[in-house]
């Protein structure tokens, strides 16, 4: 009897260790990432002992190259080739097409590497892919910074708020490309932010432990949560036939829990990655210099005045990739998007969205983001769902009235928070399942519920606003005009009279700065409100909003009235 009990206990222990071993083997890539982060963290502690910036610059670059070779071997050549190419074009191409050439060639090369296994070369996967992603951002971003600095004499800018880099030598560009903080997991930082550390021999005298402490607190809960949730709800569950025999509620619940461990995985990794940057002094700026994500300080005068001065308060906002509280608690799609992977969003906004015509900006930015992440169909399916969700959100928020404290009704807030969770859970499945077959199979099993809900919200919002406009009588319109501010009424009339876009732009340029604010609210507000009429001459939809008024319907009625009278 006792012998049988001992045998059973022994067998249970064997089974437990076998399960643990199998679990660790399956997560081999995560273990290697963990090793990378630990080694980088230890190197960062050593780097804090080095005062001279040029020594730190050279050591950080050599450490980056050494770590790449140690972990992926001769795949180091994949990144080396494109780094050398970009260094050459930065030196040879002196015209304004430098960023375009760098952008196209670097992204085409990234796409080629993702298919290189088809011609017999080692595949670009896992760690080698992550390195190439960061390298792409750094190289293209550097070409834009160089091009902007070359054109600074042709640009009007405020020297107190804007700065340009000194064009780097070939070896400085090379060492920046391989600088080990952020090289394997991010965050992305510009060459200007990098030079702020290299050119400051006293940067290591600034205490950074308060900026690391809260990140390690987040790491302390997110890592165990990731391991436990991953063990209980592995991704393979969503690929098994048994999973699709369960109820829709079960399938959505499991995908939600899988998305939760995905977030915890990112939280734990990026908290360490950000801490590595902070230890190296990257992204540490005086609070009063108003540092922003990716860019760094927005008040250059205060930066020069307060950096390294005794008693200065610092923050690390410039390399903060995640705002975990907003990701978990924010009720809006846009709020969560802004809080996630913020340094990459800065890169996309600064080097894609702001550099192309506004009409194609959003579509092109989403396409570049999807291609940068990978060429799997799941990425594109997820990214193409984002505009649908944000469009629905913009429309529903335009008809929901806020209370006097500018807060949305509690019932609506709870409802939209659930919609937001459902939306990102569905989109995350595309990132995790990757293939067209697996992603569409899951989305079909939950009846594309997010897509249908968002389409319903959009149609309902448009229908509701159309009814409100139709219900506006002539008497109510006159009352509305009296309620609106005189300045706003004047601008609506002025803009409608000058229907030709060129004349309208001349008006905008010639008017004093303080008069432009209501104008910008009135013209081309293309997403928030759909109550409009099409101008015959130029087929441009112009959306009007009245300033200083609480009722959206009133604003729409005023705009509708003026358009009808002056067309």
Residues 467 and 293: beta-carbon distance below 8 Å: no
Q: Which pTM does this prediction carry?
A: 0.79
Task: For 201, list phi and psi in degrees, rounded to 5.
Answer: -70, -15
Alpha helix ranges (H) inside 199-297? 209-232, 248-279
3-state class (DSSP) for residue 370: helix
Look at residues 165, 173, 167, 186 and name the one whose alpha carbon lies nearest to residue 84. Answer: 173
Catalytic residues: 373
What is residue 500's predicted lDDT score, i.e. its pLDDT?
A: 40
Q: What is the mean pLDDT of each run of 10 residues along the chain (567 residues)?
A: 56 58 69 92 95 95 96 94 97 91 97 92 89 96 94 75 89 97 93 95 92 95 95 91 93 95 95 96 93 90 88 92 93 91 93 87 85 90 90 89 83 94 95 93 95 94 79 48 45 44 43 42 39 33 33 44 42
Q: What is the dihedral of CA 54, 56, 59, 61, to 10 degrees?
A: -80
Task: Write the CA distances from 451 to 51, 244, 437, 438, 458, integer angstroms.
Answer: 55, 20, 18, 18, 11
Q: How deeply is 89 buried, as exposed, middle or buried, from its count of CB atoms within 10 A (0-12, 13-18, 19+)? A: middle
The H-or-E segment that residue 331 falls in is none
Residues 322 and 270: beta-carbon distance below 8 Å: yes
What is residue 21's predicted lDDT score, i.e. its pLDDT?
A: 61
3-state class (DSSP) for residue 182: coil
- Residue 125 — left, alpha, or beta (φ > 0 → left; ψ -120 to 50 → alpha)? beta
CA pseudo-torsion sign 242, 245, 248, 249: negative
What is residue 533's predicted lDDT score, i.e. its pLDDT?
A: 35
Q: How, if at all, do strands 314-315 and 285-286 pair?
A: antiparallel
Residues 193 and 283: beta-carbon distance below 8 Å: yes
* Domain extent listing, the chain: 48-193, 331-471, 473-566
**Residue 310 and residue 546: Cα distance in Å, rounded?**
48
**Residue 511 and residue 492: Cα distance in Å, rounded?**
15
Look at residues 135, 186, 156, 175 and name the one whose alpha carbon lies nearest to residue 293. Answer: 186
């Amino acid at each position: 009897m006792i012998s049988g009990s001992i045998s059973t206990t022994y067998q249970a222990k064997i089974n437990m260790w076998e399960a643990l071993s199998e679990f660790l083997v399956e997560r081999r890539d995560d273990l290697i990432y963990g090793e990378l982060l630990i080694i980088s963290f230890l190197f960062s502690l050593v780097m804090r002992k080095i005062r001279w910036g040029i020594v730190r610059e050279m050591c950080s670059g050599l450490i980056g190259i050494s770590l790449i070779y140690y972990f992926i071997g001769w795949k180091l050549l994949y990144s080396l080739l494109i780094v050398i190419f970009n260094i050459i074009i930065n030196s040879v191409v002196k015209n304004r097409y430098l960023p375009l050439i760098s952008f196209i060639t670097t992204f085409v090369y990234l796409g080629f590497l993702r298919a290189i296994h088809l011609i017999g070369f080692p595949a670009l996967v896992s760690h080698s892919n992550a390195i190439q992603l960061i390298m792409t951002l750094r190289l293209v971003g550097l070409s834009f910074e160089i091009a902007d600095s070359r054109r600074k004499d042709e640009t009007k800018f405020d020297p107190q708020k804007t700065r340009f880099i000194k064009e780097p030598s070939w070896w400085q560009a090379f060492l920046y490309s391989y600088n080990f903080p952020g090289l394997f997991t991010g965050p992305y930082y510009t060459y200007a932010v990098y030079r702020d550390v290299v050119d400051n021999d006293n940067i290591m005298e600034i205490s950074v432990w308060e900026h690391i402490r809260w990140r390690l607190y987040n790491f302390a809960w997110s890592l165990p949560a990731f391991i436990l949730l991953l063990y209980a709800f592995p991704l393979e569950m969503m690929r098994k036939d048994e999973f699709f025999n369960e109820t829709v509620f079960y399938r959505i619940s499991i995908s939600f829990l899988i998305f939760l461990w995905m977030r915890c995985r990112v939280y734990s990794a990026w908290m360490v990655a950000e801490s590595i940057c902070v230890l190296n002094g990257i992204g540490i700026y005086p609070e009063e210099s108003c540092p922003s994500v990716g860019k760094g300080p927005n008040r250059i005068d205060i930066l020069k005045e307060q950096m390294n001065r005794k008693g200065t308060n610092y923050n690390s906002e410039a390399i903060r990739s995640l705002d975990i509280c907003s990701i978990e608690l924010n009720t809006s799609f846009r709020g969560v998007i802004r809080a996630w992977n913020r340094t990459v969003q800065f890169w996309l906004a600064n080097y894609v969205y702001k550099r192309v015509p506004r009409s194609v900006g959003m579509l092109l930015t989403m396409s570049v983001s999807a291609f940068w992440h990978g060429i799997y169909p799941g990425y594109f399916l997820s990214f193409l769902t984002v505009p649908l969700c944000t469009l629905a959100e913009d429309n529903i928020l335009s008809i929901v009235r806020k209370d006097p404290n500018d807060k949305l009704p509690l019932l609506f807030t709870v409802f939209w928070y659930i919609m937001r969770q459902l939306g990102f859970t569905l989109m995350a499945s595309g990132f995790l399942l990757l293939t067209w077959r697996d992603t569409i199979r899951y989305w079909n099993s939950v009846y594309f519920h997010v897509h249908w809900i968002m389409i319903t919200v959009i149609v309902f919002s448009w229908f509701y606003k159309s009814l409100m406009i139709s219900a506006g009588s002539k008497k109510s319109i006159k009352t509305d005009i009296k309620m609106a501010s005189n300045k706003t009424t004047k601008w609506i009339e002025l803009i409608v009279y000058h229907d030709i876009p060129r004349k309208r732009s001349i008006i905008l340029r010639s008017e004093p700065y303080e008069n432009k604010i209501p104008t910008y609210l009135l013209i081309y507000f293309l997403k928030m409100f759909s109550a409009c009429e099409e101008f015959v001459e130029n087929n441009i939809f112009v959306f009007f909003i009245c300033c200083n008024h609480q009722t959206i319907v009133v604003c729409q009625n005023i705009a509708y009235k003026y358009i009808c009278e002056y067309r």
